[in-house]
Amino acid sequence: MSMESLKIAIPKGRLYDEVVKACLNTDLLDDSQNISKLSRELVQEVSGTGNLFLLAKPADVPAYVEHGAADIGFTGKDVIAEKERRLYELLDLEIGTCDLVVAVPNDMDVNTLEDIKDNTRVATSYPGIAEKFFRDKNIKAEIIELNGSVELAPQVDLADIIVDITSTGTTLRKNDLSPIAEILSSSVRLVVNEASYRTKATAIDRLSRQLEKYLKKTGDN
Ligand SMILES: Nc1ncnc2c1ncn2[C@@H]1O[C@H](COP(=O)(O)OP(=O)(O)OP(=O)(O)O)[C@@H](O)[C@H]1O
Ligand SMILES: O=P(O)(O)OC[C@H]1O[C@H](OP(=O)(O)OP(=O)(O)O)[C@H](O)[C@@H]1O
Identify which of 56, 70, 60, 79 has the alpha carbon closest to the alpha carbon of residue 28.
Answer: 70
Correct CATH for 7-96+187-220 of 3.10.450.50, 3.40.50.620, 3.40.640.10, 3.40.190.10: 3.40.190.10
Residue 168 Cα to ligand 2 midpoint, Å, equals 9
Residue 21 Cα to ligand 1 midpoint, Å, equals 17
Q: What percent of the chain has pLDDT over 70?
A: 99
The average confidence (pLDDT) of the chain is: 96
Residues 6+ apart with CB under 8 A from 54: 7, 8, 9, 10, 42, 43, 64, 69, 70
Residue 39 Cβ < 6 Å to ligand 2: no
User: Tell me, what's the pLDDT at 43?
Assistant: 97
Which residue minimizes the CA distance to atom 15 of ligand 2? 148
Residues 6+ apart with CB under 8 A from 124: 130, 143, 144, 145, 146, 150, 162, 163, 164
Rounded Cα gap, residues 110 and 177, in angstroms = 11
User: Tell me, what's the pLDDT at 2?
Assistant: 52
User: Tell me, what's the pLDDT at 48?
Assistant: 86
User: Tell me, what's the pLDDT at 1?
Assistant: 46
**pLDDT digit string, tens, across residues 97-127:** 999 999 999 999 999 999 999 999 999 999 9
Residue 166 Cβ < 6 Å to ligand 1: no
Rounded Cα gap, residues 38 and 6, in angstroms = 22
Q: In ligand 1, which atom is closest to the CA atom of 147?
A: 25
User: Tell me, what's the pLDDT at 31?
Assistant: 83
pLDDT interval class at 33 (50, 70, 90): confident
Mean pLDDT of all residues in 64-80: 98
Residue 170 Cβ < 6 Å to ligand 2: yes
Ligand nearest to the CA of 58: 1
Of 8-12, 162-166, 213-217, the range with the lowest mean pLDDT is 213-217
Residue 79 Cα to ligand 2 midpoint, Å, equals 14
Rounded Cα gap, residues 194 and 85, in angstroms = 11
Correct CATH for 98-185 of 3.30.70.330, 3.40.190.10, 3.40.50.1220, 3.40.30.10: 3.40.190.10
Domain with CATH 3.40.190.10 in the chain: 7-96+187-220, 98-185
Residue 15 Cα to ligand 1 midpoint, Å, equals 7
Mean pLDDT of all residues in 188-211: 98
Q: What is the ipTM of this complex?
A: 0.96
